[in-house]
Amino acid sequence: MLKEKLSELVCAAFSGIWILTQEPEEAVREILDLSQDMQWTTTLWSVSEGFQSAGQSLEQPHDPLSAARYLVGTGLDGSTTHLLVLRNFHRFLGNPEIVQTLAH
């Protein structure tokens, strides 16, 4: 179910998708499976582990503002789909700088 809905939303060019789940690791697994099937690039972020892509830790900061700015700094040109999974990011949405960065 998650795969179909997520695929639909990504193909419709939604820039932000909030997934509320009691099984976050299962959701991440489904997202990674879908990304592989669709040949999308996916980067995971958590405050404790920082950024990870294809199972590799990346040399990036662990702070939430860096996570909010991540896709802007990657040099993506819009020709490929890149998903950024922000684990437990809702905890940082009280910060005005993070909210404004996401809005831009």
Q: Tell me: the pLDDT tens digits for 28-85? A: 999 999 999 999 989 999 998 888 887 677 766 788 998 888 877 665 666 788 899 9
Find the domain containing 35 and state its range.
2-103
Query: What does the alpha-carbon distance between residue 96 and residue 56 come to, in Å, rounded to a whole number?
Result: 31
pLDDT on residue 74: 63
pTM value is: 0.85
Least reliable range by pLDDT among 15-24, 46-55, 58-67, 95-104: 58-67
Q: How many domains does the chain have?
A: 1
Query: What does the alpha-carbon distance between residue 62 and residue 6 come to, in Å, rounded to a whole number?
Result: 26
